[in-house]
Structure 1
Amino acid sequence: MPMNRPAAAALAAILCLLTAACGSSSDGKAVDATAEAAASKTGYPVTLDNCGQQETFDKAPGRVVVMNGASVAEVSTLLALGLGDRIVANQQTYGNSEVPGRAEAIEKLPDGGVEQNDAFDVPRETMIGLRPDLVLSTTAYGFDEKNGFATRDQLKDVGAHSYVSPQGCDQDTSKMTLADSYRLLRDMGKVFNVSDKAEELIAASEKKIAAVADKVKGEKKPKVMVLFSNMSMGGNDFSSVVAKGIYNNILAEAGGANAFENASEGSFADLSKEKVAATDVDALVVIGYNDPDPAAYAEKLLKEFPQWPAARNNTYVTLSDSMYLGPSNDLAVEKIAQMLHPDAL
């Protein structure tokens, strides 16, 4: 059956794209227009400038490896975007979550049979054997050859893209803010052609946080101690106390302030018991990283420092993934605000 002229023209355009054998006008505009039209329909190619390296995606990745990085930012972002089926090996978990069902969903993801190296992540040879087309790392540490990891160039050589999350390029997360959680969502939305979903999540989060911030505006800002439960990062008794980073941005939106913000130039302060005892703490935020009972740790601290206003009023909240980079910071803002300003909400 003969084709009508529009149908024949459309088929010719498709064949031209597939074979790259068609001629073009003298200035190439006809071919460019056809390519642009095809790209607008598929959403590809997509190019990200990531830590000074350009990553161009011609299609959505289908074999994603999520490195550990003591984070759940990347795996939670993929799950929030409905992309869990793209993950072939996930090394991230906090053990619990403020989002109902998320911890269980993470637990069910494949781990790729990975035996972590001494740096607690995916060794180079194992990574290459997983045949990824995208590898996600919280910081550039995950692509450092001296730590036994595959470099970004080595991954590129086997056809894999790589991505370092916002503020992770120099492994210094002290400047991380809520905007970085949104950037991670946007970047993954572009990479997987689900930008509409990413923008929907961002808009909902911004709306919830703005509503809370408006209610606590003008209230006195209690001094809050934020720390990870039962975790040691330095030589002192309190080495997992938060000083700077996204945590402070969350506290500010919830109507609080970090009691130890000036204790360190980096993300964490390594503090003595005497320093902690000498600081007025109005409230505690205890982050449970694979700790089954962070509340017990919080209660232990309140007993250890009875002079704190937080101890006298039993003021604390336990959180997990919502207090870190990721798609659920609005939940942390809400829960902290409810603790600090119960009459305002």
Structure 2
Amino acid sequence: MPKKRPIATLLAGALCLATAACAESSTEPSNGEASAPAAESGYPVTIENCGRTETFAKAPSRVVVMNGASVAEVSTLLALGLGDRIVSNQQTYGMSEVPGRAQAIKSLPTGDIELNDAYDIPREAMLGLRPDLVLSTTSYGFDGKNGFTTRDQLRDVKANSYVSPQGCDQDTSRMTVADSYTLLRDMGKVFNVGDRAEKLIADSEKRIAEVSAKVQDKKNPKVMVVFANMAMGGNDFSSVVAKGIYNDILTQAGGANAFESAAKTSFADLSKEKVAATDVDALVVISYNAPDPTAYAKKLLKEFPQWPAAKNNTYTVLSDSIYLGPSNHLAVEKVARMLHPDAF
């Protein structure tokens, strides 16, 4: 995990879903069966992205996915059956709510790149990959001051670029599940697989609506969402979620963020005393490269026995489904079942 770039900025950017049935399968779609050539008659395609116009004369075939401490972009491409277009992927997680997803990501080419201090692709290495599309979670990945290839430099070598929703100003505190759908639709348009994107979106919306209907009349428990063994600030609890897509997922699952008012940004930097003084009805631990997130959850419940969550042993562990990406419905389902088991 990169340490030299502020981890809160990285994580704030932060999943086999080609059909409803595929979401339950044990493997990702194979590149051969899912990535039929796009009909070139559908081009040129133009999208607006962070104040720029990106025009695609054909479907990209040499895609580079930058790190950004996210798996949103690579997971979206895999969900759309576009894994064979990737020549270098720097996003990795090691686990997923989607069976087969983590292994599918691990199997993608990296391009044998020597990464920079931010654990991402420096300028010369990027140009050497000869990409025709580069994806970045936030605009940070195209900041020339940090040794990255700028979007103008990519355009000079006939490569398009794309920053994911809410990543333009690197403030993802306003992110919602709708932004995951925007990412899917944009990639569907770019690669001329819009029908696949719409099927994924429709399935996700249906599943979230079904869950929300079951819990809409329930009391909303207060939930603490925290990254396991992660330090982002100076206090004991500096990786507590305050705002962002996490809150949208909690709301649709019939819950509420216990620390939403603790910060105006995506993460709150809290003292142990503040955490101890807050009634936490349920705990969600997000695993980002944590070796044993369940052990971390149990440790917190033992540390704060006064919490209703500790008294009732109410917790769950999530990985990629709670981030921007194509699998948010899985997070909604899992959190709702934790908060309102009697509704299922």
- TM-score, length of structure 1 as denominator length: 0.88
Alignment partners' CA distance in 1, 2:275 and 2:77: 38
Which runs of 4 or more aligned residues in structure 1 lie more than 3 Å from their structure 2 counterparts after TM superposition? none
What is the aligned partner in structure 2 of residue 274 from structure 1?
Answer: 273
What is the aligned partner in structure 1 of residue 61 from structure 2?
Answer: 62
- What's the secondary structure of 1:47's corresponding residue? strand
Show structure 2 runs of 5+ residues with no match. Answer: 1-37
What is the aligned partner in structure 2 of residue 255 from structure 1?
Answer: 254
Show structure 1 runs of 5+ residues with no match. Answer: 1-38
Mapping for residues 1-16 of structure 1, pairs under 5 Å: none
Alignment partners' CA distance in 2, 1:164 and 1:128: 18
What is the aligned partner in structure 1 of residue 101 from structure 2?
Answer: 102
Quick check: 1:120 aligned with 2:148? no
Alignment partners' CA distance in 1, 2:333 and 2:136: 28
- What's the secondary structure of 1:284's corresponding residue? strand
The amino acid of 2:44's aligned partner reads P
* Shift in alpha-carbon separation, 1:344–1:153, aligned structure 2, 3 A: same
Shift of 1:41: 7.0
The amino acid of 2:50's aligned partner reads C
Q: Give RMSD over aligned pairs.
A: 1.1
Mapping for residues 209-224 of structure 1, pairs under 5 Å: 209-224=208-223
Higher relative contact order (CA 8 A, sep 6+): 2
Q: Deviations over 1:70-121 (max 9, x none)?
A: 1000000000000000001101112100000000000000111112111221
Shift of 1:186: 0.1
Q: Deviations over 1:315-343 (max 9, x none)?
A: 11000110000000000000000000000
Q: Deviations over 1:159-194 (max 9, x none)?
A: 110000000000000000011000000000000000
C-alpha contact 2:59 2:192 (8 A) present in aligned 1: yes
Alignment partners' CA distance in 1, 2:101 and 2:130: 26
Mapping for residues 233-244 of structure 1, pairs under 5 Å: 233-244=232-243
- What's the secondary structure of 1:186's corresponding residue? helix
Alignment partners' CA distance in 2, 1:237 and 1:45: 52
Shift of 1:40: 9.1
- What's the secondary structure of 2:125's corresponding residue? helix
Alignment partners' CA distance in 2, 1:265 and 1:93: 28
Alignment partners' CA distance in 2, 1:145 and 1:212: 44
What is the aligned partner in structure 2 of residue 130 from structure 1?
Answer: 129
Q: Deviations over 1:252-300 (max 9, x none)?
A: 0000000000000000001111111111101111111112311111111
C-alpha contact 2:40 2:59 (8 A) present in aligned 1: no
Kindly, what percent of the aligned residue pairs are identical?
79
What is the aligned partner in structure 2 of residue 72 from structure 1?
Answer: 71
Mapping for residues 7-26 of structure 1, pairs under 5 Å: none
What is the aligned partner in structure 1 of residue 224 from structure 2?
Answer: 225
C-alpha contact 2:76 2:325 (8 A) present in aligned 1: yes
Mapping for residues 1-345 of structure 1, pairs under 5 Å: 42-345=41-344
What is the aligned partner in structure 1 of residue 20 from structure 2?
Answer: none
C-alpha contact 1:138 1:165 (8 A) present in aligned 2: yes
Q: Deviations over 1:299-319 (max 9, x none)?
A: 111111111111111111000
Alignment partners' CA distance in 2, 1:232 and 1:48: 37
CA radius of gyration, larger in: 1
The amino acid of 1:128's aligned partner reads L
- What's the secondary structure of 1:326's corresponding residue? coil
What is the aligned partner in structure 1 of residue 34 from structure 2?
Answer: none
The amino acid of 1:130's aligned partner reads L
Alignment partners' CA distance in 2, 1:108 and 1:332: 24
Alignment partners' CA distance in 2, 1:304 and 1:56: 54
The amino acid of 2:141's aligned partner reads G
Alignment partners' CA distance in 2, 1:104 and 1:242: 28
- What's the secondary structure of 1:343's corresponding residue? helix
